[in-house]
Amino acid sequence: MNTTRIKNIPGAKQSLVERYNCGPVKLSGDRQKFIHLVDRGIADNLGLRGPAERAIQLEESVMTPQATVKIPRRLPDGTHVLLRPVMPEDRERIQNGMAALSPRSRYLRFFTSASRLSDEQLRYFSEVDQCNHVAWIALDSSVRTYPGLGVARFIRIKEEPTVAEVALTVIDAYQRKGLGTILLALLYLVAETQGFLTLRAAVIGENTIMLKWLHNLGAAGSCERGEYRLNLTVHRDLTCLPQTPSGEKFKHAIEALQTAFHEHHTYEKHS
């Protein structure tokens, strides 16, 4: 999946508030900083009960507290990975991940076979606000240096503030091992928490595996000049997801992440 380059989006927060006709939510301390990353259950615990409230980017949401969110997961083959928000110090990991992609994977993801990212691209991919540009990285927790295995990101579309363009990258050695499902489930969960209604993927026609997977998750859209633009509706009610094998795996991945976020929040609250 590819994503267009969208930087600062003035008025995005205001547009969401106007769309849902809601007022500001007043919280304090760590809860205010943490809320836009947690799942719907924790949002409810904090008194944020609808998409209107969850859509608001709260005043103290900054990158630093998000770095404390670390979610361990295990892939079906037993590999242990650690999920956390992307930080500026991940520049080298992202560059190394680019090198770990085959030319074919780089072409399908970035529409180019270039093996290195420019300094400007690295800045863009690693310095994100986690509101208009959300990005998480999967790390290999069995290695002391925690190398990157994959990155998932979405970017709010300025003209459609409840739609985000989504992109996934998984290095070749970990493709088709379930990591992509976990990463997309994570984006789906964060998108729902932040009030997004649609995740949109741009997929080149040659990427038949990705196209089939997204279709099996319920995504639909159009094709123009060999590029598909598929919209995946973000459902709060997970029973609305397709009851296909891919849909069931996706649903279970989302539910597992909801539990993991809840456990993390509970630990942070009592530590």
Here the tokens at position 78 are 């037993």
pLDDT tens readout for residues 62-117: 333 345 689 999 998 999 999 999 999 999 999 999 999 999 999 998 888 888 99
Tell me what pLDDT residue 241 has: 96
Under 8 Å between Cβ of 20 and 129 = no
Here the tokens at position 137 are 């990285």
Tell me what pLDDT residue 265 has: 61
161 to 13, 157, 176, 244, 248: CA distances (angstroms): 8, 6, 32, 30, 28
Strands 198-204 and 227-233, how do they pair? antiparallel
For residue 159, how far is the Cα from the chain centroid?
20
d(CA 132, CA 161) in angstroms, rounded, equals 9
Tell me what pLDDT residue 110 has: 86
pLDDT category of residue 268 using cuts at 50, 70 and 90: low
Tell me what pLDDT residue 1 has: 55
pLDDT tens readout for residues 139-186: 999 999 999 999 999 999 999 999 999 999 999 999 999 999 999 999
Q: Report the amino acid identity of residue 216.
A: N
Tell me what pLDDT residue 39 has: 34
Under 8 Å between Cβ of 89 and 96 = no
| Predicted structure pTM score | 0.75
Q: Hey, how many other C-beta atoms are within 10 angstroms of the C-beta on 212?
A: 11
Give yes or no for residue 37 having a pLDDT over 50.
no
pLDDT tens readout for residues 231-259: 999 999 999 999 999 999 999 999 999 99
d(CA 79, CA 210) in angstroms, rounded, equals 22
192 to 38, 64, 113, 152, 243: CA distances (angstroms): 10, 22, 33, 15, 20
